Structure 1
Amino acid sequence: MPATCREIIAIMEALAPPELAAEWDNVGLLLGDPQKEVRRVLVALDVTHEVAEEAAARGANLIISHHPLFFRPWKHLRFDRSSGDLVRRLVQGDIMVYSAHTNLDAANLGVSYHLAVRLGLENIEILVPTYREKYYKLVTFVPEEAEGRVRDALGAAGAGWIGNYSHCTFRTLGTGTFLPLAGTSPYIGQEGKLEEVKEYRLETILPRERLPEVLQALINAHPYEEVAYDVYPLANEGPAQGIGRLGRLPQAVSLHEWALAVKKELGCERITVVGDPDRKIRQVAVCGGAGSEVMEKAVAKGADVLVTGDLKYHEARRALDLGLAVIDGGHFATERVIVPALVAYLQEELQEREVMVLEAQKEREPWRVL
């Protein structure tokens, strides 16, 4: 069976949670109905006229893009202008648009991670941590015969995950008391009679973002008419997510040699390089898109070179002052690596559904080299 747009959104937000997005960003479903069925998805870096035309030609009714269709607020929607005409074509073609932007930049398996992998880096780590997940402790009280069912439901909903371990809980046997009042229908006991029951105190940990789903799973699986539970905020923090990646080359090479390798691997029409071409480099920082803001952090972490895009004149001067080499492969080329990665991810997640995931073929670098 096909998937709904909402189900595909859930798959995307498991990879790139919206809370990772910058405050100024605009991510999520930007055009369309979350309840609508989706049979074909087109994944692209940008939502352009060419991409919209390709989606229509290939029968895709959902475009998943990295760059948002709507970035800054629009004051009007005029069909005699390019942007307005694009929206009209999407609406008339019944094509929805979902965008994951800075949240996909910061995600563990996001843009810069795949850029680092594509360039063959080893020992990859986050360059600039920007977010750490907050945790809650959930405690509930379950009769003996229902403990296994409730525990499994909590684990399936996302509770009890610690590193590479799932379904982590702790239980203590005790005695629960309650008095069913008039109008109740107790699972155990009788109305008007004080009851004592052997119960497990079951406790587990969960990320803050999973709390609604976990509580609903608890209520659905628990046999009691009224479920008792406590939720405690914890000082524990989850693994970091953030901008850019740092890694090492298998062996040191010259900046000139590495720049040519980057150009070939990313398919750049041109690259620009800051630094001595004969300099030996091995520790590499990468930041897909416009990454000049991470230069100081890259230097602090021992990077010899930064691979990024959109480097401006004065930023190049600053890189020289910092002693950091920079390879500017362009915004498009350093981010386009995420498109085939997203296609593979969605194909894996949707393999049991009647949904075809396609990679956009018609989008191109906006610059032309003369």
Structure 2
Amino acid sequence: MATVREVLAVIEKIAPKRHALSFDKIGLQVGNIDGEVRRAVVSMDRSLGAVDFAREREAQLLLTHHPLIFNPISSVDTRSHEGRTIVKLIQQGTSFIAAHTNWDAAIGGINDTLAEMFGLQEVRSFGTTENVKNLKLVFFCPAEAADRIIDAVSAEGAGVIGAYRRCAFRSSGQGDFEAAPDSDPHIGAPGERTTVDEVRVEMVLPEDRATAVARALRKAHPYEGPAFDYLSLAPVPEQPLARIGVMPEPMTLGEFVALTDRVLSTRSLAWGDPAKRIRKVAVVGGAADGDWMAAQRADADVMVTGEVKQHVALEASESGMCILSSGHYATEHPGSAALRDRMANEMPSIEWNLFTPRPGFHGRPM
């Protein structure tokens, strides 16, 4: 039977927390990390409707895009929406996980889903990101033990480079040691000097995984005292949240607005010249109007997002940048459905359900 812990491990694989923005609150927020999960519900919002739906489906887990606990709380007061939600989750035994900006940025996540829905080509990332501190792990071992150790540290988050996992470099050499009289060496004998053929393995890892990776390395390594180092690397930008790509066929802004409303089943507000030729499109789900300047620097003709403040609409349109406010729900619910599909593919032993509110209820507009 799968556990909440195992669900978190899969989420870390498909939407690593290092992708999340520094202010975000993601991961397990309510529940038992070792609790069993037979049925789960995925929802964009952490609404009471989603909690009730989880109860109706007899789900042990609610996985949402938007976090439930975002700011520090001093009490769980049922007079607040947050308090009522937490209490209901606990009473019905439903654990709660949030995958927010890490799923926005993830490959196949919120914004990749939007790009796919528009049929964008030559898609790439741009915009808001974080600088992440990485380390380089260097360890030495007998050649026959290398694969086992690489597997063990990879399971704890080492060796991830972009869309590739278990990334490692190996080089061959010789290691020398003299075992202490009271030791029990894997190779050689106590009190003797030994020279062995070994491989040097190098892998990168996020700084916050260092303790778990070291623990896994020691457990998988055949030596009593394995030799390994952590080397500090310069901070590097993580996976940006937003996407930009090229339309299969150019069209006017007026035509693009009509296409957007049809693709997303929404009614967009749009700013810009209706006759402007639209070829390059930026997509950023949710409340992301602050990315319009980054979209303009990326040569986008238009940016589609969920919410646009009036002053942003003014500044963008008077700067020659077309911008659409297509609704928070319309731009993020499709990516939440994609998360349900991905989790169902990754963990087929769990029954994965999607909560889709009725129009006008639980955060979905009419």
TM norm structure 2:
0.89
Percentage identity across paired residues of the two chains = 33
- Whether contact under 8 Å (2:329, 2:364) holds in the other structure is no
Q: Choose which of 355, 358, 361 in structure 2 pairs with 1:360.
A: 355
Q: 1:324 to 1:148 in 2, by over 3 A?
A: closer
Displacement of 1:308 in angstroms is: 0.7
Q: 1:77 to 1:223 in 2, by over 3 A?
A: closer
Q: 1:150 to 1:39 in 2, by over 3 A?
A: closer
Q: Which digits, 9 at most, give the CA deviation of each residue in 1:1-60, with x for residues without a partner? A: x21101101111222222333333222111111010011110001121211111111111
Which residue is equivalent to 1:24?
A: 23
How many Å separate the matches in 2 of 1:28 and 1:151?
26
How many Å separate the matches in 2 of 1:296 and 1:186?
61
Which residue is equivalent to 2:304?
A: 307
Which residue is equivalent to 2:337?
A: 340
How many Å separate the matches in 2 of 1:210 and 1:76?
31
Q: 1:298 to 1:89 in 2, by over 3 A?
A: same
What is the root-mean-square deviation in Å for CA atoms of aligned residues? 2.5
How many Å separate the matches in 2 of 1:143 and 1:194?
18
Aligned residue identity for 1:180: A
2:101 is the alignment partner of 1:106: no
Q: 1:292 to 1:227 in 2, by over 3 A?
A: same
Q: 1:20 to 1:147 in 2, by over 3 A?
A: closer
Aligned residue identity for 2:249: Q
- How many equivalent residue pairs? 362
Look up the SS of the partner of 1:181 in the other structure.
coil
Q: 1:229 to 1:305 in 2, by over 3 A?
A: same
2:247 is the alignment partner of 1:249: yes
How many Å separate the matches in 1 of 2:102 and 2:154?
25
Which residue is equivalent to 2:229?
A: 230
How many Å separate the matches in 2 of 1:74 and 1:146?
48
- Whether contact under 8 Å (1:63, 1:98) holds in the other structure is yes
Displacement of 1:105 in angstroms is: 2.1
Which residue is equivalent to 1:171?
A: 171
- Whether contact under 8 Å (2:41, 2:62) holds in the other structure is yes
- Whether contact under 8 Å (2:39, 2:352) holds in the other structure is yes
Which residue is equivalent to 2:205?
A: 207
Which residue is equivalent to 2:320?
A: 323
Q: Which has the larger radius of gyration?
A: 1
Look up the SS of the partner of 2:296 in the other structure.
helix
How many Å separate the matches in 1 of 2:296 and 2:148?
52
Displacement of 1:70 in angstroms is: 1.9
Look up the SS of the partner of 1:249 in the other structure.
strand
- Whether contact under 8 Å (1:285, 1:307) holds in the other structure is yes
- Which stretches in structure 2 are left out of the alignment for 5+ residues? none
Displacement of 1:277 in angstroms is: 1.4
How many Å separate the matches in 1 of 2:120 and 2:25?
31
- Which stretches in structure 1 are left out of the alignment for 5+ residues? none
Q: 1:34 to 1:249 in 2, by over 3 A?
A: same
How many Å separate the matches in 1 of 2:52 and 2:175?
66
- Greater mean deviation of Cα atoms: 164-173 or 27-36: 164-173
- Whether contact under 8 Å (1:143, 1:197) holds in the other structure is no
Displacement of 1:91 in angstroms is: 1.5
Displacement of 1:81 in angstroms is: 4.7
Q: Choose which of 193, 196, 214 in structure 2 pairs with 1:195.
A: 193
Greater share of strand: 1
How many Å separate the matches in 2 of 1:99 and 1:219?
32
Look up the SS of the partner of 2:214 in the other structure.
helix
Q: 1:37 to 1:152 in 2, by over 3 A?
A: closer
Look up the SS of the partner of 1:289 in the other structure.
coil
Q: Which digits, 9 at most, give the CA deviation of each residue in 1:137-177, with x for residues without a partner? A: 33333245545544565566655555658553222232412
Which residue is equivalent to 1:276?
A: 273
Q: 1:22 to 1:129 in 2, by over 3 A?
A: closer
How many Å separate the matches in 2 of 1:67 and 1:234?
32
How many Å separate the matches in 1 of 2:270 and 2:325?
6
How many Å separate the matches in 2 of 1:85 and 1:217?
40
Displacement of 1:212 in angstroms is: 3.9
Look up the SS of the partner of 2:308 in the other structure.
coil
Which residue is equivalent to 1:86?
A: 85
How many Å separate the matches in 1 of 2:114 and 2:276?
22
